Structure 1
Amino acid sequence: MPRQLDVVLTASAPVIWGSTYIVTSQLLPPGYPLTAAMLRALPAGLILLLVVRQLPERRWLGRVFLLGALNFTLFWAALFVAAYRLPGGVAAVLGAVQPLIVLLLARGWLGTPLSRGALGAAVLGLVGVALLVLQPHAKLDPLGVGAALIGAGSMAAGVVLTRRWQPPVPALTFTAWQLTAGGLLLAPLAFALEPALPPLSVRNIAGFLWLGLFGAAISYFFWFRGIARLGPAAVTSFGFLSPLSAVVLGWLVLGERLGRVQTLGALIVLGSVWLAGRINRGQTRIAPPTTPETRAL
Structure 2
Amino acid sequence: MSTFIFLAVMGAALLHATWNALIKTGGNKLTAMLIMTIIEGVVGAVVAMTRNLPQGEVWFWVIGSGVLHSAYKFFLAFAYEHGDLSRVYPIARGTAPMIVMLVSLLFLSDVISGYETLGIALLGVGILMMARGVFTDGESRRLVPMALCSAMATAAYSLVDGMGARVAGDAVMFVAWLFVFDVLGFVPMAYALRGRQVFIANRRSWGLGAVAALASYGAYAIAVWAMTQAPIALVAALRETSILFAVLIGWLLFGERLGRVKALSAVLIVAGVMLTRI
Q: Taking structure 1 as the reference length, what is the TM-score of the superposition?
A: 0.72
C-alpha distance in 2, partners of 1:170/1:4? 26
Question: Structure 1 pair 128/225, CA: closer, same or farther in 2 (3 Å)?
Answer: farther
2:38 alignment partner AA? L
User: What corresponds to 1:67 in structure 2?
Assistant: 65
Contact 1:41 1:182 in 2 (8 A): yes
Moved over 6 A (4+): 225-229, 233-236
CA RMSD for the aligned pairs? Answer: 3.7
Give the CA deviation at 1:36: 2.7
Shift of 1:121: 1.4
Q: Whole-Å Cα distance in 2 between the matches of residues 56 and 17 of structure 1? A: 28
Using the TM superposition, name which of 170-179 and 237-246 deviates more.
Answer: 237-246
- For residues 153 and 201 of structure 2, what CA distance do their matches in structure 1 show? 33
Task: Find 1:77's aligned residue among 50, 74, 78.
Answer: 74
Q: Which letter does structure 1 place at the counterpart of 2:181?
A: A
1:50 matched to which residue of 2?
46
Pairing of 1:285-296 with structure 2 (within 5 A)? none
Q: Is the 8 A contact 1:43 1:212 kept in 2?
A: yes
SS at match of 1:113: coil
Residue of structure 2 equivalent to 1:18? 17
Deviations 1:68-107 (A, max 9, x none): 222x111111222333355666644642322211102223
Partner-residue secondary structure (3-state), 2:111: coil
Give deviations 1:153-173, integer Å, cap 9, x for gaps: 121121122222214544332
Report the 3-state secondary structure (helix = DSSP H, G, I; strand = E; otherwise coil) of the residue aligned with 1:97. Answer: helix
1:179 equivalent to 2:179? Answer yes
Q: Contact 1:106/1:160 (CA < 8 Å) preserved in 2?
A: no
Corresponding residue to 2:36 among 36, 40, 46: 40
SS of match in other structure, 1:19: helix
Partner of 2:110: helix, strand, or coil? coil
| Partner Cα distance (1:3, 1:62) in 2 | 39
Q: Is the 8 A contact 2:97 2:273 kept in 1?
A: no
- CA gap 1:119/1:236 in 2 versus in 1, 3 angstroms: farther
Which structure has greater helix proportion?
2
Count of residue pairs the alignment pairs up: 269
Output the amino acid matched with 2:77. F
Which residue is equivalent to 1:163? Answer: 162
In structure 2, what residue type is equivalent to 1:15? L
With normalisation by structure 2, the TM-score equals 0.76
8 Å CA contact 1:10–1:226 kept in 2: the answer is: yes
Alignment gaps of 5+ in structure 2: none
